[in-house]
Amino acid sequence: MSERDRQAGLRESATFDRQTIQEIQRAAATGIYDIRGFGAKRRVPHFDDLLFLGASMSRYPLEGYREKCATDVVLGDLHAGRPLHLEIPVTIAGMSFGALSAQAKEALGRGASEVGTSTTTGDGGMTDEERGQSRQLVYQYLPSRYGMNPDHLRMADAVELVLGQGAKPGGGGMLLGQKISDRVAAMRTLPKGVDQRSACRHPDWTGPDDLAIKIEELREITDWQKPIYVKIGATRTYYDVKLAVKAGADVVVLDGMQGGTAATQEVFIEHVGIPTLAAIPQAVQALQEMGMHRRVQLVVSGGIRNGADVAKAMALGADAVGIGTAALIALGCNHPRWEEDYARIGSAAGFYDDYHEGRDPAGISTQDPELAARLDPVAGGRRLANFLRVMTMEAQTIARACGKSHLHNLEPEDLVAITIEASAMARVPLAGTDWIPGRGGPGF
Amino acid sequence: MKTVSLAEHTVRELNQMLHDQARQLTEPEWLITDPDGRHAIAAGLDQELAITIEGHAGYYCAGMNQRATVTVEGTVGVGVAENMMSGLVRVRGDASQSAGATGHGGLLVIEGNASARCGISMKGIDIVVGGNVGHMSAFMGQAGRLVICGDAGEALGDSLYECRIYVRGTVKSPGADCVEKEMRVEHREELARLLQQAGLDADPASFRRYGSARQLYNFKVDNADAY
């Protein structure tokens, strides 16, 4: 509440605050739920609620600018003949051509390739731009199968079988008519201008037993050379991870509720799924109980923003992370340079989330040729590479301070929580205690 | 003709032999014996091969087929010819769920019956079924033609896009946004060609045509009851 409101004796309801009132009024006026992009904006326990215990007397740190702290990771070596070797453990998560412009997809490929990591296709298939610029490209296999082509499957470096995503576990993709250009329509075999509400279930398998047979088919078609990832939205993570591994996944991609989306109902984004922080320990427990931790790799996404988040996710047991929203911001999304244009469409730099409208002033989440031309794929790729390098160096800085010569050597013992909620979810002690809520122990 | 017994070879060995033909064609005709319901038989082909499977096949037989002609002298499991791009797949017996799912091209002929979700999310494939199809067939069908010489189950063509459906028998119920449409001359000619290609004897004049009403292509609040 502002000082002016207070002085005027105005009291805002905690239950019916201004935003809630505005949403009721909007729904009453339009008769449709609010759709937007980005990810969950509500505050949930997150990596900010964790801190590292740097080395001191009982732990031995590494020299920050001299001693080696390796960052490489191998993904998919359990069954695949050609696993992915990444130089850094930060990958680019799946985002579709259609949701993003061709220039944005190219820029993602350029940035990722420059630092030796992978990028991922999305709903709608593989474009020449992203295959051409991505040294290591993961091909998503989604319920809609838009643009699904066995030639692309064979051209990919890995296959990601998508069961769900953190922003909308249980929901399918959404690409509204205003973003369906001729090219997007042709790739998806749909009429131009149709609202594309992608399927949420795969059309030719149901349940984990079928999934095992589907994975077998994909391996047969790719001659057992490509790693098979299984991507899940974070909900019943413990069970989902066990079932994915049992079905034969080489890699589990776990996307928490803070994960981004190009378009989904606001109610879905904010009210379905669990925070990334709560999901990681469940996944790690499942893998450990199966004797598969580090053998089946765990890639975590959903709200990864900096090197500290990378280090914390890995300390909790992830082998690598994926970024989507942060990568778009690195390309130029929400940049103050376009402030006037944001204002013109009723938004502002730092708040823009209407990716579904296709009017992105930064030229990223659009199919408008004039807007898309605003993003130079080479310059965008360079910005992304810079950002990925900074994230990696930040994670290394923390790892060295904890005495680790490889990011993978970070462990839960290096972490404490500063809130009870984060402590319970991440299963690390509350700072200054040896207490983890729900885990027993002597208490304060 | 090269004969491969799946009692003596694994599916992996068979598929590798078939995939090798995409690089160098040395054996255009193949006979696969003792399939015994194994999965992913002849999946991922990309060559003009003629393959006969002597018996029953499991899931995803001829999955993602390109250019090859595959004939199954028996029944097939879930997802026969799923995501087929081109070529011809013929099933002499019945097919389980999701036959021809998401197929982009080619022709799938099922001489017997097909179970639920036949042609689900089809994107250009042509499917001709000699018998009946189960519920939710052609669900979200985007393109291509589904010909049903027998009866169709519930919710035929639910959430249909531009796929065309021809039915000779009864339709238990059309799905959301699926309606019966006029059978014009060009449709009868198209249907006659499909039946001829499939080798099925049926009078095109005895079929009805179903397609999308196109009322749900863009969200309108007045259509909320349909969702």
Could you read off the pLDDT of B115-131 as tens digits, one per residue? 999 999 999 999 999 99
Cβ burial of A410 (10 Å; 0-12, 13-18, 19+) is: buried
B62 shares its domain with B130:
no
Phi, psi dihedrals of residue A314, rounded to the nearest 5°: -70, -35
Give me the residue from A199, A214, A221 closest to B44, CB to CB.
Answer: A221
Question: Has residue B92 been placed in a domain?
Answer: no
ipTM comes to 0.96
Cβ burial of A438 (10 Å; 0-12, 13-18, 19+) is: exposed
Average pLDDT on B99-114 reads 98
Question: Has residue B50 been placed in a domain?
Answer: yes
Q: For residues A238 and A272, is the Cβ–Cβ distance under 8 A?
A: no
Shortest Cα distance from A97 to chain B (angstroms)?
A: 18
* Interface contact B218-A216, CB threshold 8 A: no
Would you state the pLDDT for residue A443?
43
- Partner A contacted by B33 (CB < 8 A): no
* Interface contact A220-B40, CB threshold 8 A: yes
B137 shares its domain with B179:
yes
d(CA B20, CA B41): 15
Give me the residue from A31, A145, A190 closest to B102, CB to CB.
Answer: A145
Would you state the pLDDT for residue A25?
97
* Interface contact B123-A189, CB threshold 8 A: yes
B103 shares its domain with B21:
no
* Interface contact A213-B40, CB threshold 8 A: yes
B134 shares its domain with B194:
yes
Phi, psi dihedrals of residue A84, rounded to the nearest 5°: -85, 135
B132 shares its domain with B195:
yes
Question: Has residue B56 been placed in a domain?
Answer: yes
Contacts of A205 in chain B (CB under 8 A): 59, 78-79, 98
B17 shares its domain with B115:
no
Question: Has residue B224 been placed in a domain?
Answer: no
Residue A337 is inside which H or E element, if any? Answer: none
| pLDDT tens-place string over residues B195-222 | 999 999 999 999 999 999 999 888 777 7
Among chain A residues, CA nearest to B124: A189
- Partner A contacted by B83 (CB < 8 A): yes
Shortest Cα distance from B51 to chain A (angstroms)?
A: 17
How many angstroms separate the first and last alpha carbons of chain A?
36
B52 shares its domain with B122:
no
Question: Has residue B139 been placed in a domain?
Answer: yes
Structure tokens at B16: 């590798």
Question: Has residue B225 been placed in a domain?
Answer: no
* Interface contact B59-A217, CB threshold 8 A: yes
Place of tokens 């909320």: B224
Q: For residues A400 and A70, is the Cβ–Cβ distance under 8 A?
A: no
d(CA A368, CA A387): 26
B111 shares its domain with B169:
yes
**How many helices (H) and strands (E) are present in chain A, helices listed first?**
16, 16
* Interface contact A149-B218, CB threshold 8 A: no
Give me the residue from A149, A204, A216 closest to B101, CB to CB.
Answer: A204
Question: Which domains, ranges and CATH numbers included, belong to chain A?
Answer: 3-32 (no CATH), 37-410 (3.20.20.70)
Q: Which amino acid belongs to residue A444?
A: F
Question: Has residue B82 been placed in a domain?
Answer: no
| Per-chain mean pLDDT for chain B | 96
Place of tokens 């930040």: A394
Domain count across chain B = 2
pLDDT at B227 over 70: no
- Partner A contacted by B140 (CB < 8 A): yes
Would you state the pLDDT for residue A1?
65
Would you state the pLDDT for residue A442?
52
Structural domain span for residue B17: 1-74
Would you state the pLDDT for residue A444?
40
Listed in sequence order, the DSSP H helices in chain B are: 11-23, 185-198
Residue ranges for chain A with pLDDT beneath 70: 1, 440-444
B41 shares its domain with B119:
no
- Partner A contacted by B64 (CB < 8 A): yes
Report the length, in residues, of chain A: 444
B203 shares its domain with B148:
yes
